[in-house]
Amino acid sequence: MASTETLAETQIEDEIDLPWNVLVLNDPVNLMSYVTLILRKLFGFSESKATRLMMEVHQSGRSVVWTGPREKAEFYVQQLQSHQLLSRIEQVDG
């Protein structure tokens, strides 16, 4: 039988391994064309993919634009915020 400590350590390791989503949130300031431009610039998305994600932000209030390791997710959020886009990370539900 596993000890409580071992189970807690396993849970923490599983949480660390879970990927993180980078979210772009809707804001009343930035033009849709600007959001599309920044998504293309930072992530290398095609015009159609960047436009689709921008429309999801516009219509749903948010869009997951990237998923992966926490350190890179934090980097992308910093880059998005440096371009004045509202963004944050959230851990993918495991």
* pLDDT tens track for 42-60: 999 999 999 999 999 999 9
Query: Which one-letter DSSP state was computed for residue 93?
Result: P
42, part of any domain: yes
73, part of any domain: yes
90, part of any domain: yes
pLDDT tens across 65-82, in order? 999 999 999 999 999 999
Domain count, the chain: 1
Q: What CATH number is associated with residue 59? A: 3.30.1390.10
13, part of any domain: no
pLDDT of residue 90: 97
6, part of any domain: no
3, part of any domain: no
Element (H, E) at 24: strand 20-25
Chain centroid, CA 36 distance in Å? 15
Domain containing 94 equals 31-94
Calculate mean pLDDT across residues 4-31: 78
93, part of any domain: yes
The SS3 assignment for 23 reads: strand
Measured distance CA(86)–CA(94) in Å, rounded: 25
